[in-house]
Amino acid sequence: MNRFLYFFFSLLSCLNILAQNDITKFMGIPVDGTEKEMIKNLKAKGFKYSRVDSKPLLKGRFNGVDVDIFISTEKGKVARIIICDQVRFNEGDIKLRFNELCKQFENNENYVALDKFVIPEEEDISYEILVNSKRFEAVYYQLPEKDVFKDISSNIIDDITYNIQSKYSTPSEEMEKEIEDTYCYRIAEMIRHKVVWFMISESYDKYYITMFYDNELNRAHGEEL
Q: Give pLDDT tens digits for 23-41.
A: 999 999 999 999 999 999 9
35 contacts 181 by C-beta, under 8 angstroms:
no
Residue 148 or residue 109, greater confidence: 109
Contacts (Cβ under 8 Å, ≥6 apart) of 221 = none
SS3 label, residue 223? coil
DSSP assigned state of 89:
B
224 has pLDDT over 60: yes
12 contacts 4 by C-beta, under 8 angstroms:
no
DSSP assigned state of 144:
P
Can you tell me the distance from the alpha carbon of 17 to that of 183, in angstroms, rounded to the nearest whole number? 20
172 has pLDDT over 70: yes
Q: Give pLDDT tens digits for 128-161.
A: 999 999 999 999 999 887 766 777 777 778 888 8
- List, in sequence order, every residue forming a beta bridge with 80; answer none if it has no partner: 72, 214
SS3 label, residue 124? coil
SS3 label, residue 102? helix
pLDDT at 21: 61
pLDDT at 221: 80
Q: Give pLDDT tens digits for 64-98.
A: 999 999 999 999 999 999 999 999 999 999 999 99
60 has pLDDT over 60: yes
How much is the mean pLDDT over the chain? 86
Nearest in space to 38 (alpha carbons), one of 86, 83, 72: 72
